[in-house]
Structure 1
């Protein structure tokens, strides 16, 4: 089942019209959220990012859209399921039907879909750069909109070339992120991640990992521009997203990475998940 504007429906009963703006224009945003043991992981961070994104896209935020209300609406779906302890939630928000590029209204519809998942961190994980198209830098790229054709093409490229993921670059040829998350590189005692001005999504786990690193006196964190060449020179590389948490990268082109620091940060993140 899904939750459409507070109504629980079987998926086959969900009606999306030909005027749906998420379909016609990608006029939509979404949050991918993990639920573990009936608890929404880092829910406050997801909620405030969602509100900020809606404001940036000039969507009208309903009065009832409180932190508690949306949490309740998500957990209503989870309560109907008993096939797992861990779930992936996609909370999609889009402007109501009507209009061309200019919408008839800024009011919104929302759709909550929940799927059971089994999270597996791969022991061998290969990445390379996707060079066919750019992820343009700028604030709009930091929002999780439904405009994900670049990520789709990069994912197809990864599959065709026996890769687990691809690094996306911007118009300045700088590293932005990977197809499904943010990226960090470790060199000595310095850990770097692309700055938001490079065009990367303002990831929730990215934020948590930055907090973990800045509290550790053994490392220096830099949010900066990163060239693809720096990945090849790194000691370690890891990827972050809301579902997997941290995925260490073991190979980039012919370079083999260690995973010791990645695993230590992952343990710290798992503690935060439990205590959040």
Structure 2
């Protein structure tokens, strides 16, 4: 028996009592965007998921092929009448048993889908203000570059942003450099130089980050580099924007007293939508 919200109930009635994702954050996940019954950037998502499972020493089932997981995600989207435009999350968690040390390394997975109104990416040009979150820091390690269910730092930063009237916060690493936003990678344009922190700084190895780098490197008169960004650098920037697979691109219009343009963000948005439209 267990006590659940003040009521004594059978342990079997609450599956979370043994679930390692709930008890220890022992899980990894991917969130994908579905457009016209296809998963955008499927290969990038698949290989990041496999890499994440290897990093945390999960046993990868023989049937976990890209085609198998694609089929599982799309069949659910179709069943829910969400195959035209939706987001789907697949969470892979280590099976029950043990405490910090698992008894086994086999896994199970859970997929859920949520509908989206528009399959093309867009952003409005209204105010989007950010500030730094300094209460806790992202560590410069491999675990920071993958998507695990341990997101308490991001949750706390989101609450801080909401309480202080910000639309987002920028996270710092243990070297006090700017790493990323709460839910996306950060890009900074200064002159003709586009900068994003390298993965070694502790940022997420984002799927949309990869797309933006590829788009930007093909543009003339634009230098694209991966290097550390200090808080002081933000004040000298011409543009700042955040990227993730669900939102696409989100321009930052204000950081403290500095306001920013959204010229390059618009160009990259058009290039991104060209890819989506061709899907």
TM value normalised by structure 2: 0.91
**Residue of structure 1 equivalent to 2:109:** 110
Name 1:87's counterpart in structure 2: 86
Identify the residue that residue 47 of structure 2 maps to in structure 1.
48
Deviations, residues 10-42 of structure 1 (Å, cap 9, x unaligned)? xxxx97330111011101000011112221111
Match for residue 162 of structure 2? 159
| Aligned length, in residue pairs | 263
Instruction: State the Cα distance separating 1:84 from its structure 2 match.
Output: 7.6
Bigger mean CA deviation after superposition, 74-83 or 20-29: 74-83
**Residue of structure 1 equivalent to 2:69:** 70
* Equivalent of residue 121 in structure 1, options 108, 112, 123: 123
Cα deviation, 1:43-95, whole Å, max 9, x if unaligned, reads 11100111111111111111111111100000111112236832111110010
Residue equivalent to 1:5: none
Structure 2 residue corresponding to 1:177, chosen from 177, 180, 187: 180
> Does residue 29 of structure 2 align to residue 30 of structure 1?
yes
3-state secondary structure, aligned to 1:141 = helix
TM-score, normalization: structure 1? Answer: 0.92
Aligned ranges 1:102-251 → 2 under 5 Å: 102-118=101-117, 121-123=123-125, 124-251=127-254
| Residue pair 1:42, 1:273 contacting (<8 A) in 2 also | no
Offset at residue 270 of structure 1 (A) = 1.6
Q: Which has the larger radius of gyration?
A: 2
Change (3 A) 1:108 1:83: closer
SS at match of 1:17: helix
Once residues 159 and 172 of structure 1 are traced to their aligned partners in structure 2, the CA distance between those partners, rounded to angstroms, is 25
Shift of 1:266: 1.2
- CA shift for structure 1 position 273: 2.8
- Residue 269 of structure 1, CA deviation: 1.4
Q: Out of 51-60 and 181-190, give the one that drifted further.
A: 51-60
SS at match of 1:89: strand
Show structure 2 runs of 5+ residues with no match: 1-12
Question: Alpha-carbon deviations, 1:206-249, whole Å to 9, x = none?
Answer: 00101111121221111111001111210000100010111111
Kept in 2, the 8 Å contact 1:141–1:199? The answer is yes
Gaps of 5+ in 1: 1-13
Superposed CA RMSD in Å reads 1.5
